[in-house]
Structure 1
Amino acid sequence: MTRVWDVPVHDSTRVRDVRVAAEAAAEHTGLGRDRGAAATLVATELATNLLKHGGGGRMLVETVHDDLGLPGTGRGPALQLAAIDHGPGIADLAAASLDGFSTTASLGAGLGTCRRVSDHFEVHTVPGRGTVALARIHAARRDRPGHRSPDTGAPVRVGGINIPLAAAEHSGDAWACVRSGDLVTLLLADGLGHGPAAAKASGAAVGRLRELAHLPPAELLDALHPALHDTRGAAVAVARLDLVSLRLDFAGIGNIGARLCSGDTWRPLLSRPGIVGAHRPARLPQSSLPWTRDSLLVLHSDGLPSRWVPPPLARLTSWDPAVTAAVITRDSSSAARPARDDTTVAVLAPTPQDQRP
């Protein structure tokens, strides 16, 4: 089941809560003593920066996996730390990122040290809109740690953000991405309702992905029905990218949202009504679209408003996909529009040429 530590940070007392969450998450991920200490340091600094620069926000701490070699993962589990705020933005990010730039009541490390001890570190800030700071820390330190470290050679990257409803221990949403030869398959599942029973359903879908990744999306969804039969069921969407033909195939059952951006045009990809594991549509069409070097795919659960507004396109494909997911989530939420379910956004994007080995 998907375990996420979601810690609101609105006063200095919550910095300790973030540190405790990072320690627990590091143990859950299997980081070991040294890398666990690095994760705790980074989490503490990011939480303090939320207060200093963002007027408060939230810290999301979770384990991430994928077969594409997320920056900072080394093809294995990594701890992902995301600090998200709606604040004024960091006025001078370059200065804030230097060693020796210390935040009030922090450990004196600052963003510069966070960048050095993380296997991947990225900050996106916009005046008046807020800041997203994202770090990944792997159990084994990589040879070239730091900002936007190259991936393992995959021409596409994947990342996501998962926010459980009401800071619950488990999220009823789950996503995963695997590569099988020249095929990259991204799956997002939303178990019915929320809590442990929903997490069991979405976890069952993710758990079967690796052995079914060779199937076209419609056939994969059909094969998932028996796997989820003993759960409450889930909405599931599957996208498969052929890296040779550069075609993206998509199929979905239930209310998973999907949008494909190519150039400056966003196109919705439609799912069929139903519940994987409970109600199978009589007919499940499969979309097939071209994938270009500026394409970007967003899958999201129904915790995100269906009419979310995409971020500016100028640098969208250059951001880490998890940063893109965090920006989409942040800009689509507000106190006046509280979430009523778990919220997950997963993004598949091309790897920029300057970030390939």
Structure 2
Amino acid sequence: MTRVWDVPVHDSTRVRDVRVAAEDAAGHIGLGRDRTAVAALVATELATNLLKHGGGGQILIDTVDADLPEPGAGRGPAVQMAALDHGPGIADLPTALRDGFSTSSSLGAGLGTCRRIADHFEVHTVPGRGTVALARVHAARRDRAGHRLPEAHAPVRAGGINIPLAAAAYSGDAWACVRSGDRITLLLADGLGHGPAASKASGAAVEQLRQLAHLPPPELLGALHTALRDTRGAAVAVARLDLATEHLDFAGIGNIGARLRSAEGWRPLLSRPGIVGAHRPARLPQCRLPWTPDSLLVLHSDGLPSRWTPPPVDLASSWDPAVTAAVIVRDSSSAARPVRDDTTVAVLTPTPQDHRS
């Protein structure tokens, strides 16, 4: 099941809760003592920064796969920490990111030190709209001599943000991205309803993806339909990118939203009505679209507004995809719109040339 730590941060008493959540997440994936301490420090600084620059906000802590290199070259699971706020934005981001620049009541590390010690750190801030700060910490890969191995990057990156309804411990949504040779498959599943039973259904879909990532989307959905019969069922969307032919195949069942951006603009990708594991459509065609250097794929569960559209400010392909997902979630939410379900956004983007090894 998908475990997510959702901690509101509106006063200094919640900073400790964020630190404890980061330590719990690190233990969940078996990080060692040193890397757990790094995750705890980064989480503490993110929470303190929320209070100083954003007037409070939300910290989401999750465990995710770190990257999509060739099999055997990855860095394993990571603790992902995302801080979201609707504040005024950080007026002087270069200064805030300077190593040793300390926010008030912090441990004295500051965002600059977080950028240095985290395995990935990125901040997106816009005056008047708020800030998204994202960090990931994973177990360092080392050779037999104990030297840290260089990172390996795939031609594309995947990332996501998962928010359980009412800050529940488990989300009924789950997403994953798996590589099989030259094919990369992004899946988003929304278990029927919410809570542990919904999480079991979406988690079963992710486990099947890890075993059957070589299948085209319609065949994978057929296998999922059989595997999820003993669960509540789920809405599932599957997108498979072929790196060799540079095309994207998509198929879905249920109300998972999907949009693909290209040079011509945004195009919706349509799923068929039904519930995987309960009501499968008789025909399940897939659509095939070109994948270009400016492509960007967004999958989202129905926790977003039903008429969500991409924001007028362009979503840059150079952003970490989890930052893109967090910006979408932040900008589509408001206090006036009650949330009635888990909310997940998963994004697939090309890897910027200067990020590739």
Same fold (TM over 0.5): yes
Q: Verify the 8 A CA contact 2:67 2:157 in the aligned structure 1.
A: no
Task: Determine the C-alpha separation between the residues in 2 that align with 1:80 and 1:67.
Answer: 12
Report what 2:297 is aligned to: 297
Report what 1:108 is aligned to: 108
1:54-69, aligned counterparts within 5 Å? 54-65=54-65, 68-69=68-69
Which string of whole-angstrom CA distances, capped at 9 and with x for unpartnered residues, describes residues 220-259 of structure 1? 1011111100000000000001111111000000000000
In structure 1, what residue type is equivalent to 2:307?
A: R
Give the deviation of 1:161 after TM superposition.
0.3
Report what 2:147 is aligned to: none
Task: Determine the C-alpha separation between the residues in 1 that align with 2:6 and 2:290.
Answer: 37
1:283-322, aligned counterparts within 5 Å? 283-311=283-311, 314=314, 316-322=316-322
Give the deviation of 1:307 after TM superposition.
2.2
Give the deviation of 1:67 after TM superposition.
5.7
Identity %: 81
Task: Determine the C-alpha separation between the residues in 2 that align with 1:3 and 1:202.
Answer: 12
User: Does residue 230 of structure 1 match 2:240?
Assistant: no
Task: Determine the C-alpha separation between the residues in 2 that align with 1:313 and 1:52.
Answer: 26
Give the deviation of 1:20 after TM superposition.
1.2
Give the deviation of 1:308 after TM superposition.
2.1
**Secondary structure of 1:318's aligned partner:** coil
Report what 1:203 is aligned to: 203
Report what 1:94 is aligned to: 94
Root mean square deviation of aligned Cα: 1.8
Report what 1:147 is aligned to: none
Report what 2:173 is aligned to: 173
Task: Determine the C-alpha separation between the residues in 2 that align with 1:68 and 1:257.
Answer: 23
Normalised to the residue count of structure 1, the TM-score between the two structures is 0.95
Give the deviation of 1:331 after TM superposition.
0.3
User: Does residue 220 of structure 1 match 2:220?
Assistant: yes
Which string of whole-angstrom CA distances, capped at 9 and with x for unpartnered residues, describes residues 103-156 of structure 1? 11110100011011100100000000100000000122689xxxxxx9623111
Task: Determine the C-alpha separation between the residues in 1 that align with 2:115 and 2:207.
Answer: 33
Give the deviation of 1:163 after TM superposition.
0.3
Task: Determine the C-alpha separation between the residues in 1 that align with 2:99 and 2:269.
Answer: 45
Could you list the runs of 5+ residues in structure 1 that have no partner in the other structure?
Answer: 144-149
Q: Verify the 8 A CA contact 1:4 1:162 in the aligned structure 2.
A: yes
Give the deviation of 1:210 after TM superposition.
2.0
Report what 1:155 is aligned to: 155
Report what 1:275 is aligned to: 275
Q: For structure 1, which segment, 302-311 or 327-336, has the greater mean C-alpha deviation from structure 2 after superposition? A: 302-311
User: Does residue 26 of structure 1 match 2:26?
Assistant: yes
Q: Verify the 8 A CA contact 2:75 2:139 in the aligned structure 1.
A: no
Gap change, CA 1:152 and 1:141, over 3 Å in 2: closer
**Secondary structure of 2:4's aligned partner:** strand
In structure 2, what residue type is equivalent to 1:211?
A: Q
Task: Determine the C-alpha separation between the residues in 1 that align with 2:159 and 2:110.
Answer: 25
4+ long deviations beyond 4 Å: 312-315
Task: Determine the C-alpha separation between the residues in 2 that align with 1:169 and 1:307.
Answer: 28
Report what 1:252 is aligned to: 252
Give the deviation of 1:100 after TM superposition.
2.4
Report what 2:146 is aligned to: none
In structure 2, what residue type is equivalent to 1:164?
A: P
In structure 2, what residue type is equivalent to 1:219?
A: E
Could you list the runs of 5+ residues in structure 2 that have no partner in the other structure?
Answer: 144-149
Normalised to the residue count of structure 2, the TM-score between the two structures is 0.95
Q: Verify the 8 A CA contact 1:46 1:83 in the aligned structure 2.
A: yes
In structure 1, what residue type is equivalent to 2:179?
A: R
